[in-house]
A and B are shown apart, each in its own frame.
Chain A
Amino acid sequence: QVELVQSGAEVKKPGASVKVSCKASGYSFTSYYINWVRQIPGHGLEWMGLINPNVGFTKYAQKFQGRVTMTRDTSTGTVYMELNSLTSEDTAVYFCARDVTGGGCDYWGQGTLVTVSS
């Protein structure tokens, strides 16, 4: 069965970086884009960007451009999202989600809580 399993919760200091992983299984890893979506506690969903695991192509939301990097490791079927220069406003749950071309996100990871606090 399709599964996306994310890395565990993180606590970071302001100015630090965080790297969240998302390990895919149960399907052809290179056949589906992966989106990253975050949710600040008590708020809505915010699309951060996506990666094509086949060729590594990425597209980021303008808000995160220059601060986010999405990568993949095809040998392990894992995608990564690294966010730099963290502030308290980056405290959120970060989700990875499999993209159905032209459609929505049909499978999601369980979410990773990133807390930024001094």
Chain B
Amino acid sequence: DIQMTQSPSSLSASVGDRVIITCRASQSITNFLNWYQQKPGKAPKLLIYAASSLQSGVPSRFSGSGSGTDFTLTISSLQPDDFATYYCQQSFRTPKTFGQGTKVDIK
């Protein structure tokens, strides 16, 4: 199975901050990397697919980059609605494994 490792596991940030979350795959997944946002008690929401494509309706402050094994999710200016847990997921091969999550909370 492809292992996905996110860092950090949690971070504290302020509104307006630039936030970067990284995700590393245990082998190359080309660009088959997706990012989700999840809030407590809710289903995950797709933010970014194919490493860098913004899902329809997602604010442009979210962006993704990377290929091969190393990927990043960037929130350019953190907004109050962005405090949540973020997960990466590889869709290169089944099982479509997720990272362990990064919780973003208020500093």
Complex: how many Å from CA A47 to CA B49?
17
* Nearest-Cβ distance from residue A66 to partner chain B, whole angstroms: 15
**Does B63 have its Cβ within 8 Å of any Cβ on chain A?**
no
Residues of B within 8 A of A37 (CB): 44, 98
* Nearest-Cβ distance from residue B77 to partner chain A, whole angstroms: 24
A interface majority secondary structure? strand
Could you say which of A44, A45, A95, A103 contacts B91, with CB atoms under 8 Å apart? A103
CB 8 Å contact bits of A72-94 with B (1 = contact, 0 = none): 00000000000000000000000
**Does A52 have its Cβ within 8 Å of any Cβ on chain B?**
no
**Does B55 have its Cβ within 8 Å of any Cβ on chain A?**
yes
Could you say which of A62, A103, A108 contacts B34, with CB atoms under 8 Å apart? A103
Q: Would you call A62 and B96 a contact (CB within 8 A)?
A: no
Residues of B within 8 A of A49 (CB): 94-95
**Does B97 have its Cβ within 8 Å of any Cβ on chain A?**
yes
Q: Would you call A102 and B32 a contact (CB within 8 A)?
A: yes
- The verdict on A35 contacting B43 (CB below 8 Å), with A45-B87, A102-B50, A103-B34 known, is no
Q: Would you call B43 and A95 a contact (CB within 8 A)?
A: yes
Question: Interface residues of B, CB < 8 Å — how many?
Answer: 25
A-B pairs with CB below 8 Å: how many? 66
Could you say which of A61, A104, A109 contacts B46, with CB atoms under 8 Å apart? A104
Residues of A within 8 A of B95 (CB): 47, 49, 61-62
**Does A53 have its Cβ within 8 Å of any Cβ on chain B?**
no
**Does A50 have its Cβ within 8 Å of any Cβ on chain B?**
yes
Complex: how many Å from CA A46 to CA B99?
9
CB 8 Å contact bits of A87-118 with B (1 = contact, 0 = none): 00000000101001011111011110000000
Q: Would you call A103 and B50 a contact (CB within 8 A)?
A: yes
Q: Which of B79-107 contact A (CB under 8 A)?
A: 87, 89, 91, 94-101
Query: Which A residues fall within an 8 A CB radius of B?
Result: 35, 37, 44-47, 49-50, 59, 61-62, 95, 97, 100, 102-106, 108-111
